[in-house]
């Protein structure tokens, strides 16, 4: 492999590392926003008398949010693994 090919490979790897780190930060930021929104909603409406439909909608939204958190947790894990492989040079 010539020096130029190695340099190009290093540049590519550096770009991918930046991309992965940005994606990780985006996912982590989205998780914080979801939790903050849930807390805000609970504070605003926690004392109100609710109807069964309200509780059903709330439970459904919590289920959707948990599913999204599970997917994001797996994506973050995959990103961490990729970053570790880059750091190890593999």
SS (H, E, C) the chain: CCHHHHHHHHHHHHHHHHHHHHHHHHHHHHHHHHHHHHHHHHHHHCCCCCCHHHHHHHHHHHHHHHHHHHHHHHHHHHHHHHHHHHHHCC
Q: Looking at the predicted structure, is the pLDDT value of residue 6 above 60?
A: no
pTM: 0.60
pLDDT of residue 89: 87
Q: How much is the average pLDDT of 21-49?
A: 74
Higher pLDDT, 34 or 6: 34
pLDDT of residue 1: 47
């Amino acid at each position: 492999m010539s020096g130029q090919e190695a340099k190009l490979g290093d540049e590519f790897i550096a770009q991918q590392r930046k991309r992965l780190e940005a994606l990780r930060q985006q996912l982590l930021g989205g998780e914080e926003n979801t939790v903050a929104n849930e807390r805000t909603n609970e504070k605003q409406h926690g004392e109100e008398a609710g109807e069964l439909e309200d509780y059903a909608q709330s439970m459904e939204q919590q289920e959707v949010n948990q599913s999204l958190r599970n997917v994001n947790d797996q994506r973050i894990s995959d990103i961490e693994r990729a970053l570790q492989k880059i750091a190890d040079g593999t």
